[in-house]
Amino acid sequence: MISEEQRSKRRREARKDFYIIIDKIRAKPDFQNFLLPPTPQELISAASSGPIIVVNTSYIRCDAFLIDTHAIWLLRLPRLKLSDFEGES
């Protein structure tokens, strides 16, 4: 059986190894943004063919991101609840 101390050490080592690998990947040509979220400008550029709507739901609150070629807006959806979607998939 592994002690809690050994388990913690193993997690720290795995985390360190993970970031070393991520840094190596990001050092490769065209991979500098690997596993990073898109920048606001990249999102705006992605809307060149038409507006993008991303609905974000959680137990805390629900929102929508509205993206067009000029800006990104956050629209709170106070009447929408995560439970409205449960059982839909």
pLDDT at 2: 86
- Please state the domain count of the chain: 2
- Indicate if 25 and 59 belong to the same structural domain: no
Which domain range does residue 87 map to? 37-89
CA–CA dist 13, 86 (Å, integer): 37
Across the strands, what pairs with 52?
67
Q: Give residue 27's pLDDT.
A: 98
Q: Give yes or no: residues 42 and 1 share one domain.
A: no
One domain for residues 65 and 77: yes
Distance CA 32, CA 26 (A): 4
Say how many Å lie between the first and final Cα of the chain, rounded.
Answer: 39
pLDDT of the residue at 11 = 97
Beginning with the edge strand found earlier in the chain, give each strand of the sheet holding 62-67 in spatial order.
Answer: 52-57, 62-67, 72-76
pLDDT tens by residue, the chain, 89 residues: 889 999 999 999 999 999 999 999 999 999 999 999 999 999 999 999 999 999 999 989 999 999 999 999 999 999 998 888 887 76
